[in-house]
Amino acid sequence: AQSVTQLDSHVSVSEGTPVLLRCNYSSSYSPSLFWYVQHPNKGLQLLLKYTSAATLVKGINGFEAEFKKSETSFHLTKPSAHMSDAAEYFCVVIDTGRRALTFGSGTRLQVQP
């Protein structure tokens, strides 16, 4: 069965410093992986996706993630945090041939001025 573990429930960084949000997945087959972001009182917006092409994936707003099969990880990074990045971030997995997304528990990113 597929699952994702987001290792940190809360991450706090200073504006202008790097962001690292960690995600490990468990999947029976070759998965597709996504990061979604949820700003307060807003819906879920896709940041980026990995679907077995390049292992380093670039997304919107300067975010990127690297798929590492040997470590079963898909960590989200950004070189320099901005105040507007403060939100909840979800790592999501879907197995090949399925449609249902499995969400991680989320990481709340706080950006300090």
Nearer to other proteins, 76 or 94 (CB): 94
Distance CA 83, CA 9 (A): 19
Per-position x/- string for 80-109, each x denoting binding to other proteins as judged by CB under 8 A, each - no binding = ----------x---x-xxxxxxxxxxx---
Question: Within 4-33, which residues bind other proteins (CB under 8 A)?
Answer: 32
| C-beta separation of 36 from 102 below 8 A | no
Binding site for other proteins (CB under 8 A): 32, 34, 36, 42-46, 49, 51, 90, 94, 96-106
